[in-house]
Amino acid sequence: MKSTLDQIEDIKKDGYSIDFSTVFNYAVENYKKIALYSGLIILVFSVVAGAVIMGLAVAFYGVQSLSENFIENFKIENLSYVQQIITAASIAAVTALFAPLGAGFLKMADCADKDETFNVSTIFTYYSSPYFLQLFSVAFIIGIVTNGISYFTESLGIGYLGTGVSLFINFFTYFTIPLIVFGNLNAVDAIKSSLVLVSKNPVTIFLLFIVGFLGSLVGLVGCCIGVIFTVVFNSSVTYSAYFSIFNEEEQQDSIDSIGRSDLE
């Protein structure tokens, strides 16, 4: 079987086909298997993480850190350029630390798809070597770029442009995480390969990107806490889209191999 990079090279030359309805239906079925369990994990983790963050804020800055006036001090217009750079890098680093958790939900979707057992420890699968460094790196690179652009455009009074550019970047790096955990690519190759995959079929991938995002927010309707049970829908869509592409490539490889054997 060809390596992921070899398959990417084939896609560069020949492209690939992907059907929106097939991927969407597959994602919905997969989501049903992981929604409840993942939602409970997110609920517990959110409560614990929130308590830790508030505790650290009070420990470092005092009780006033929980006040609205204190938070106002960290708005971009109140920060110097050096502080903006430090803040952007810090946010990117903290976000990158949670990247393996997002990958863990992809692993959970993979286990559900293969009818394998999964539990709480599944979401921490990729905090181990060699995945952690690559996941942290790719999330930090994307984070520092998007945060930097957002801060820069906000300082110019055109924050909406920064938001648009950030969405554009997130769209074209849509497949970076699955390319690392399932394709065994490093951070740089994952970013470049994601650009190839998205650019070869931008309309369908964009529709899946939007549907996954909106589906994750469905839980906000009526009862906001419901979002913890729907946010993982995006992981299911990403997983289904990724394997829709690469299963097709593997099947094509098999057909080509049979053809070559017949000729020989």
Q: Is the dihedral of CA 135, 136, 139, 141 positive or negative?
A: negative
Lowest mean pLDDT: which of 143-147, 216-220, 259-263? 259-263
pLDDT of residue 249: 55
Per-residue buried b or exposed e for 108-121, using 16+ beta carbons within 10 Å of the residue's own CB: bbbbbbeeeebeee
How do the domains of the chain map onto residue ranges?
4-8+41-46+78-247
Of the ranges 17-21, 54-58, 168-172, 183-187, which one carries the lowest mean pLDDT score?
Answer: 54-58
Q: What's the pLDDT at 259?
A: 41
Q: Please tell me the predicted confidence (pLDDT) of residue 179.
A: 96
What pLDDT is attached to residue 252? 55
pLDDT reading at 158 higher than 50: yes
Greater pLDDT, 183 or 263: 183
pLDDT of residue 82: 78
HSE-CB for 89 with a 13 A CA cutoff? 6
Whole-number Å distance between alpha carbons of 138 and 173: 9
The answer to whether the CB of 13 falls within 8 A of the CB of 262 is no
pLDDT at 71: 60
How far CA 31 is from CA of 71, 96, 199, 240, in Å, comes to 37, 25, 26, 10
Q: Dihedral angle at the C-alpha atoms of 159, 89, 181, 194, nearest 10 degrees?
A: 40
What's the rounded Cα separation, in Å, for the pair 248 and 238? 16
pTM of the model: 0.84
The predicted-structure confidence for 89-136, as pLDDT tens digits, reads as follows 888 888 899 899 999 999 999 999 999 988 888 989 999 888 999 999
